[in-house]
Amino acid sequence: MKRITALIGGAALAFTAVAPIGVAADDPPAPADSGSKSVALSPTGSYIVVMVADPLVVTIDADDLDTPAADAQGDVLEASHTQVLNEESISTGTKLQDYTNALNGFSAVLDHDDAVRLASNPKVAMVLPDEMRYIAGADDDDGTEPDDLGNYLGLTARGEAWSSGLTGEGVVVGVIDTGIWPEHPSFADDGSYPAHAPLETTLAGGSPCNFGNTAANSADAPFVCNNKLIGARQMLQTYRFFVGADADEFDSARDDDGHGTHTASTAAGNANVQAAIGGRNVGVISGVAPRAQVIAYKALGNLGGFTSDLAGAIDQAVEDGVDVINYSVGGGANLLGGDAISFLFAADAGVYASVSAGNAGPGPSTIGGPADTPWVTAVGANAMERFFQGEVRLDRGPTLRGSSITAGTARLSLVDAAAAGTSDLCLAGTLDPAKVAGKIVLCRRGGNGRAAKSFEVFSAGGAGMVLYNNTNTDNLFTDNHWVPSVHLAFTDGVKVKNYIAATANPRARIADTARVTEWKPAPSMTIFSSRGPNPTSADIIKPDITGPGLQILAGNTPYPDPDSTPTGELFQAIAGTSMSAPVVAGVYALIKQAHPDWSAAMAKSAIMTTANTDVRDNDRVSQAGPFAMGSGEVNPGRVNARNSVFNPGLVYDAGLLDYFGFLCGAAPGALPTGLCAFVVTNGFATDASDLNYPSISVAELAGSQTVTRTVTSVATSRVKFKAKVQA
């Protein structure tokens, strides 16, 4: 039976009126709003039409979405989409894709006037502009150490998750991203994984194991999914309609960026995989939930992704039965984006969403969407203790330490890009090959990507690169560069620059690269991690949590986009809130294995209320505040210990009607007045401060205000709790 909502008179309408089990409406359900409605102009020419009638997850248990009965109801919903187009005399050929599971609606290429006309149809709840989203990766020892991420998170020791049997066994992780490299050792099936029922070929999702379709690129080899990688779909209908595909781009679920392979292997990659970069072992990696199974959804192309495609991927993931979705994707904050609304109903189906907070920090109110919504977990990024170091050894000068994952160099001549071309930024086409051939080049950050700078050095015949920041508070990155490289802080970069200017024959050596050292203090926030206050609802603190997101060693595609990073590398150590979100997705998979009956909101509460609050800001000195770290750094803890994510004592639960109430207050006029009247009449809060959330915020306090929370005990024994407010 459905957990949360019950039908009223056999026909509950998610955007007109719904009642929870045991609660009767005081008045008959109000009809949907009618009359002219405003619709924002779509920047893409595509719109997402959300219908009044329920998506399937409201009336059908998520486990039953692949049954013939659900298929039949889905066909009825799809027919209603065509009908509403016919009613408004709009060609059905404008429709690109249908949604029926986590969202009831469709996407279509429409004139704005047609979109407005559709919005006024009584069967339509809202018409949303199709937006663009992007990956949230920050732009930009002997190498056999055991897994550093697992050690750092406290998963490996006696009494901790992995040694206690919590490894994600039986949990399915969905990854919506740039695709996946299926032959990667992180997704190899060693025969020990439980068999999973085959996924269905669907109209929206196409083949459930979509590889080998790219005639122009032989690297897109056929692949048969297994019991580790149980599915991989390409979900790029709108993207292909508007953008198409580059000649060498994989027209399948295969990853030609590396981002999707990295996030999937971080969340749920196999345990104890030896990682090598540039032919050298650089560590042993494991996903946070190494025994979880994976389904990949390629919904981002080379230029980003459309929310209509991303909503389709969420819709398909719910039908495929995923337990958690990692969404290292973001864009403009918008409570009513197509992906945001899809995640709302996915949460009602029990699907947890771990979402990148964004990489627009450290300025205030830089949280992106859909991370701004309360039904997803917004994850910031912090540095952890493990640090890949490299050195620049100046002849008859100091040795300067920075970050590096590349090989080193011999003792070579050193040249400043400012004197070897037209820009010290090493922009494309600016270096003079006659001045840099065979030399190490000093390049300054800015203007183009970090790896793009090393490609310019490589293209001009250079043999190495010293990259330096523009400030001392910026982070140091470990990209897969085209030439041996070290990344320095601003002060050290200026030292190199001054050394070159003052030395007749400057020479240097890049050495001791990929050496594992400690970053102190850790955890400390990265400078790029997006900050609050929440731009769309300041009464909801964002980010919710932070996790390791700097120099995260995980998977890669060996065939990335041309000129982006070198080919042939199966591993990379990169940064971004894209890298921290799958850490939290993996932790959720461990919780799901331990507590399969917990709602997504209960698990989110456990993660937030047990977090480590001893986090430094990006200056590595001051305490990070809630708008930087949220509730703190994710901290799984010992399985049977009090105040671990597995045993939090009390949790704050919330459901679909709670979130409807939130939207009625935070986005006035967005939902039908009948629905908002219903939630108010039946006691659901519309003040965001009163949403049953694991953090409390009152953005504009005049005098005093009472804030209400309801807690649920999940303790395994009798426990006495004491309320305490510390301000």
Q: Are residues 117 and 198 in the same domain?
A: no
Please give the pLDDT value at position 23: 29
Confirm whether 609 is domain-assigned.
yes
Question: What's the Rg (C-alpha) of the chain?
Answer: 26
Query: Which residues form the domain of 43?
Result: 5-131+674-681
pLDDT tens digit sequence for 440-470:
999 999 999 999 999 999 999 999 999 999 9
Other C-beta atoms closer than 10 Å to the C-beta of 708 total: 11
403 catalytic per annotation: no
Q: Are residues 605 and 620 in the same domain?
A: yes
Instruction: Write out the DSSP string of 109-142.
Output: E--HHHHHHHHTSTTEEEEEE--EEEE-BPP---
Q: Which of 91-100, 308-317, 402-411, 513-522 has the lowest mean pLDDT?
A: 513-522
Q: Which of 107-111, 263-267, 472-476, 535-539 has the lowest mean pLDDT?
A: 472-476
Q: In the predicted model, what is the mean pLDDT of the chain? A: 91
Confirm whether 407 is domain-assigned.
yes
Q: Are residues 176 and 108 in the same domain?
A: no
Q: Are residues 180 and 275 in the same domain?
A: yes
DSSP β-bridge partners for residue 84: none
Q: Are residues 395 and 453 in the same domain?
A: yes
Of 489, 513, 537, the residue that ends a domain is 513
Confirm whether 725 is domain-assigned.
no
pLDDT(708) > 50: yes
Q: Are residues 150 and 273 in the same domain?
A: yes
The helix (run of H) or strand (run of E) holding residue 284 is strand 280-285
Amino acid at 399: T
395 catalytic per annotation: no
207 catalytic per annotation: no
Higher pLDDT: 184 or 671? It is 184
Confirm whether 653 is domain-assigned.
no
Distance separating alpha carbons of residues 108 and 134, to the nearest angstrom: 21
pLDDT tens digit sequence for 498-512:
999 999 999 999 999
Confirm whether 528 is domain-assigned.
yes
Q: Are residues 341 and 472 in the same domain?
A: no
Query: In sequence order, what are the residues at sequence separation of 6 or more whose Cβ sits closer than 8 angstroms to the Cβ of residue 51?
Result: 15, 77, 80, 81, 84, 104, 105, 123, 124, 125
Confirm whether 691 is domain-assigned.
no
Q: Are residues 266 and 412 in the same domain?
A: no
DSSP β-bridge partners for residue 644: 647
Dihedral in degrees, nearest 10, Cα atoms 646, 648, 650, 656: -50
- Strand intervals (E) in 346-481: 352-356, 377-383, 386-394, 399-403, 412-416, 440-444, 464-468
Q: Are residues 146 and 116 in the same domain?
A: no
How many domains, the chain? Answer: 3
pLDDT tens digit sequence for 343-401:
999 999 999 999 999 999 999 999 999 999 999 999 999 999 889 999 999 999 999 99
- Which of the four pLDDT bands, split at 50, 70 and 90, describes residue 518? confident
Q: Are residues 508 and 557 in the same domain?
A: no
pLDDT(520) > 50: yes
Query: Mean of the pLDDT values across residues 226-232?
Result: 98
Distance separating alpha carbons of residues 277 and 571, to the nearest angstrom: 6
Distance separating alpha carbons of residues 18 and 653, to the nearest angstrom: 19
pLDDT(35) > 90: no
Please give the pLDDT value at position 374: 98
Of 487, 513, 539, the residue that ends a domain is 513
Q: Which of 33-42, 203-212, 255-264, 541-550 has the lowest mean pLDDT?
A: 33-42
- Which of the four pLDDT bands, split at 50, 70 and 90, describes residue 15? low
* 578, 580, 644, 697: the active-site residue: 578
Dihedral in degrees, nearest 10, Cα atoms 132, 133, 134, 137: 160
**Percent of the chain at pLDDT above 90?**
80
pLDDT(127) > 50: yes
Angle at 48 between CA 42 and CA 49, to 5 degrees: 120
Q: Are residues 32 and 126 in the same domain?
A: yes
Terminal CA-to-CA distance of the chain, rounded, Å? 43
**Closest to 277 (Cα-Cα) out of 189, 407, 175, 147:** 407
Higher pLDDT: 216 or 654? It is 654
Please give the pLDDT value at position 258: 96
* 130, 177, 320, 479: the active-site residue: 177
Confirm whether 700 is domain-assigned.
no
Q: Are residues 465 and 509 in the same domain?
A: yes
Question: Residue 486 belongs to a domain with what CATH number?
Answer: 3.50.30.30
* 184, 259, 262, 481: the active-site residue: 259
Higher pLDDT: 32 or 43? It is 43
Confirm whether 459 is domain-assigned.
yes
pLDDT(680) > 60: yes
Please give the pLDDT value at position 727: 66
pLDDT(17) > 60: no
**Closest to 186 (Cα-Cα) out of 637, 592, 582:** 582
Question: Residue 329 belongs to a domain with what CATH number?
Answer: 3.40.50.200
